[in-house]
Chains A and B, each alone.
Chain A
Amino acid sequence: MSLNRDQINSIAHLARLSLTEAEIPVYQDSLSKIVDLVGELDAAQTAGIEPMAHPLPGLAQRMRPDVVTETDQHENYQRNAPQVEAALYLVPKVIE
C-alpha cells in the first residue's frame, strides 16, 4: 500500500510534527514499506483470540493509601523548562 503526500501531512499534523519539504517523500516511501510489512499480519488466523495488551495478564493495578507522598519541587523541576515566569510555564499567546 502506498501512502500519498496528503496522508503523510495529515499523520504529521496529528503527531504534532513539522516536516520539511525534503522529509515528506522520504516518509511517504518508508511508511508505505512499513504498512506493507505490518500487512503480513492479515494472514494470521486470530478469530476468537483475546488481544494482549500486557505481558503479565492478571496483574491488577495497585492502589496505595491516599496520603501525600510528593513534596513541592516546582523550582527543581522548572530548572529544565525553556521559559518560566512566576513559577508558570510560558508559551506563545493563545487568546488574542
Chain B
Amino acid sequence: MHTLTLSELAKKLRAKEFSVTELTKSLLARIEESQPTLNAFVTVTAESALAQAKVAEASLASGNAGPLTGLPLAHKDIFCTKGIKTSCGSKMLDNFVSPYDATVVEKLNAAGMVTLGKTNMDEFAMGSSNETSYYGPVKNPWDVKLVPGGSSGGSAAAVAARIAPVATATDTGGSIRQPASLCGVTGIKPTYGRVSRYGMIAFASSLDQGGVIAQSAEDAAMVLGAMSGFDTRDSTSVDTPVPNYVESLDAPLTGLRIGLIKEFFDKGLDASVEKLIREALKVYEKLGAKLVEVKLPALPLSVPTYYVVAPAECSSNLARFDGVRYGYRAKDPRDLMDLYKRSRGEGFGAEVKRRIMTGTYVLSAGYYDAYYLKAQRVRQLINQDFKRAFGEVDVLMGPTAPDVAFGIGAKASDPIQMYLNDIYTIGANLAGVPAMSIPCGFSRELPVGLQIAGPHFAEAKLLNVAHAYQKETDWHRQIPAAFKREKLS
C-alpha cells in the first residue's frame, strides 16, 4: 500500500481493501525502519496517529468521510502541533511542546487526515541541504551519501521513500521546490497569502509560505485545497475563495503559452539537467503548448536581494528567542544580558547565527539604506519582471535546481556555494508568485525537477499543467530501489 497515491488510497479505504489503522501501522513501521538510514523524522506520533485512525474509520463507516479522511501525512516540524514537540530543527526549541495547532494542522486534522509525525528540516528552515538540523542531516533516499535538499528535506525524503504518502512543507527561498527536485517528488509553493502562516514558525515573514510535497500534482491538489484559505489570525492571509484544484486538473493545455526564462539557461546550469528540461518542454509542445523565450533581466540579482531581505526579517523574527518565556536557557546566567546572549549563542546553530548577524548588519545604523532599502528596490524590479512576463505568457518554466543532489558535506563549509543552490527558486518568493517542481527524469540515476511558475493565485493552472505532464510520463511514479519493498528490514 506504500506505493499508492492519495487518490488511490482513498479508493481502497472505501473499498475496504485495508483499514485506516492497517495503513497507518504499515507506514509507522516503514518510518521506524527507515529512521536509521534516512533520519527523515524528528518526532513520530504513533499513539495519536492510531487514535486519529480510529476516528477516521468511524467517519468512513458512517458515511461522513471527506476526500482526505483517513489519509496519513507528515508535518514539517515548523508547524506547531498541540501537545506535540515542535522543534523547527533547532536546539532552541528541542524542549518546546506547542500549546496550540497551526492553522494548517487544524485544517488537515479537521479534514480527517492522520498525522504520522514531524519531519526533520534545516534549523529554522535556513538551509538548502538539511545539514543545519540540530537532529542531524536527512539522507537522500536515492543515494544516502547525498543530501535531500532543504529546508523541507525530511518531508521530501519521506514522500520519495514512500514512508509518508504526502507531507506539509514551507518555502521561503525554495525550501519546498529544491528538495522536491533533489528527491524526485512533486512540490508546490502557493501564492504568498494563500496558506495561513499562523502557527508556522516564522523565518522571513514577507517570503514564508506553506505548501505541500506529494507524489503527484493530483495529490498536491487534494491537500492544498484543504490547507488553503483565509485566516483572520494571519494578517497577510488573503481573503480570496479557494478554487477546487482537483476539478480543473484535466483541462486541456491547447494554446498554453509557456515562457522559458532565458536567464536560467544562460550559465551555471548542468548540461544533463538542461537536456531533461528541454525534453520535458517537448512533451508540453506535443500537448499543444507554445514555447516563448522571455527575459527577466533583474532575476539574476535574486540571490543577493534575498540575502539582504531574508536575514533582515530573520534577525527581527528570531529576536523572540530570549531564553525567558520558552525554549533553551543557558545554565547559570550571570545577569540578564548573559542570559540572552548565551541562551541564543548556545541555542542557535551556526547557520542561524550567520543569518541573524547578516540581518543585524544590513539593518544597522548607516547601512540600512545601502543594503536593505536597495534590496527592496531590486525586489521591486524582479517583481516587475515577473509581472511583465505574465503579460506575455501563462506560465514560466525552467529548472528547479542547477544540478542533481550533491554529497553530504560537499558545500557545508562555503555558505555562498550553498546559497547559489536556490538561484532558480528565490525569484518566486520575492515576487510572491506560486511555483512548483515536478520530476522530469534522471541524470546519473538521480532525479531532476522541472519548475513551473504562474501569476498570483494561479495554483489551479500550475497543478493542471503539472498533471497534464504526469499523465504523459511516469517519472513521478519512480521509487528509490531501497524503498520499493513494503517491509524495509
Contacts and interface: CB of A to CB of B under 8 A. Distances in A.
- Chains A and B belong together in one complex: yes
Contacts of A11: 357, 360-361, 364
A33 interface: yes
Interface in B288-343: 298, 301, 303-305, 307-308, 315, 319, 322-327, 329, 333-342
Interface residues of B, number: 71
Interface in A29-71: 30-31, 33-35, 37-42, 44, 46, 49-56, 59, 61-62, 64
If over half of A's interface residues share one DSSP class (helix, strand or loop), that class is named, otherwise mixed; here it is loop
Contact of B341 (A16, A38, A44): A16
Query: Which residue, of A41, A53, A76, has the highest number of chain B Cβ atoms within 10 A?
Result: A41
Contacts of A59: 193, 236, 238
Contacts of A13: 341
B385 to A, nearest CB: 12
A46 B342 CA distance: 40
Interface string B196-235: 0000000000110000000000000000000000001001
Size class of the contact patch on chain A: 35 or more
B415 A30 contact: yes
Given A38-B307, A41-B308, A52 B298 contact: no
A17 interface: yes
Contacts of B303: 37
A81 B377 contact: no
Contacts of A79: 97, 99
A17 B192 contact: no
A15 B376 contact: no
If over half of B's interface residues share one DSSP class (helix, strand or loop), that class is named, otherwise mixed; here it is helix
B12 interface: no
Contacts of A53: 206, 376
Contacts, number: 171
A83 B341 CA distance: 17
B358 A49 contact: no
Given A17-B357, A19-B345, A91 B432 contact: no
B430 A37 contact: no
A37 B426 CA distance: 15
Interface string B442-466: 0000000000000010000000000
A80 B364 contact: no
Contacts of B361: 3, 11, 31, 35
B386 to A, nearest CB: 10
Contact of A44 (B193, B298, B334, B354): B298
Contacts of A33: 415-416
Interface string B44-60: 00000000000000000
Given A46-B374, A83-B329, A38 B362 contact: yes
Contact of B307 (A18, A23, A34, A81): A34
B339 A54 contact: no
A85 B360 CA distance: 33
Given A41-B301, A41-B304, A18 B374 contact: no
B381 interface: yes
Contacts of A83: 329
Interface string B337-367: 1111110111010100110111011101000
Contacts of B238: 56, 59
Contacts of A38: 304, 307-308, 362, 371, 375
Nearest to A82: B329
A41 B419 CA distance: 16
A18 B377 contact: no
Given A14-B360, A46-B374, A56-B238, A81 B325 contact: yes
Please name the 6 residue pairs, one residue from A and one from B, whose CB atoms are nearest each other, closest first.
A55-B432, A18-B345, A51-B376, A80-B326, A46-B377, A82-B329
15 contacts: A17-B356, A18-B346, A19-B353, A20-B345, A23-B353, A34-B307, A34-B415, A40-B301, A41-B308, A51-B377, A51-B380, A52-B379, A77-B326, A81-B326, A92-B335
Interface of A: 3, 8, 11-20, 23, 26-27, 30-31, 33-35, 37-42, 44, 46, 49-56, 59, 61-62, 64, 73, 76-77, 79-83, 89, 91-94
Given A34-B415, A80-B326, 9 more contacts: A17-B353, A23-B353, A41-B305, A41-B374, A46-B377, A56-B238, A77-B99, A80-B97, A89-B325
